[in-house]
Amino acid sequence: MQIRRGFLGWGIFLILVGAIPLAVRGGYISADDLGRLFNLWPLILIGIGVGLVLSRTRFDFIGGLIVAATIGIMVGGLLSVGVSGFSAGSCGSNATATPFPARDGAFGSTGDVTLALDCGEMTVGAAQGPNWHLDGSDKDGSGPTVRSDESTLEVRSRHEPGTAWLAFGDRDTWRLTLPAAVTLGLDVQVNAGRGTLDLAGATLGDVRAQVNAASASFGLGSVAAISTVDLRLNAGSLGVTLPNLSVTGSIQANAGSVQLCVPAGAGIRLRTGQSVFASYDYAGHGLVQDGSTWTTPGFESAAVKIDLDTKANAGSFTLDPEDGCG
């Protein structure tokens, strides 16, 4: 029998995606073990390296098998416990958290906000006035790295010297209030944790986010203004309450699930494009399919137009779920 190498990686991937949930149900893998599965991600880099080293030999397929097996294990873990539980389990503990000194500042008429959280929980809201306020807790009370002036605010998780390449560490808690009256560009990254952004009343420009092995919710339903959204999910869950304003952009899910909540009466156009192992439940919500595009009747004449590229790879999109998008 001759094995076709082109299908070998896919076979390994699918076997492990199915085997991990079976092992969990049989009691062979514990909940704690599942929470650590995403920490295997460096094996993907190792597999790529092995593939490069062996690229001109008859063993060149080994690197691809390592990558396929690692991704299969991680996706199998996601299917076993649900993406939100997986992201929480892969992060550290805040049992000994210490409050860090609060930070405050003010913007001019516009500002750019960059938030990068590695392991923890981030809560972001909006309030009147030009000022921002940050408080929270972490392992030793040192707080995140904060850089700010009248036009920028940058908040990043603090790392021990020589460990910045490690994605996850001790769990941090951030509570940030942004000024609603200032036009803000927002760039958010959440690695192994949870982000809750309720931006009611905020005046937003471009909103960008990358969610890695984490869960996040973006409450944009009551924003005062918004330009575009560009959201990327890599292993985890993402809930987006879309604004009652016209908006364009893209949302992509890789090994994760996205829930979209849209305002009543809005015109919707969602493009799925080329996807792999993807699930979309757009049928049954009054949308009409034309190839890879789903549109509400009368879209062009709608007062509010929501026009998004939505793409999933080993992921899913759910429109207006019963339990909301929080």
pLDDT of 112 reads: 98
Q: Is 85 exposed, middle or buried (0-12, 13-18, 19+ CB in 10 A)?
A: middle
pLDDT tens for 60-105 read: 778 888 888 888 777 777 665 554 444 544 565 566 789 999 999 9
CA 196 – CA 220 distance, rounded (Å): 11
DSSP code of 37? G
pLDDT of 56 reads: 77
H/E element, 253: strand 247-261
Model-wide pTM > 0.85: no
77: left (phi over 0), alpha (psi -120 to 50) or beta: alpha
pLDDT of 51 reads: 81
pLDDT tens for 29-45 read: 765 566 566 667 677 77
3-state helix, strand, coil in the chain (%, to 5): 20, 45, 35
Low-confidence ranges of the chain (pLDDT < 70): 1-7, 24-26, 30-39, 41, 78-95, 159-170, 275-277
- Specify which residues 310 forms β-bridges with: 251
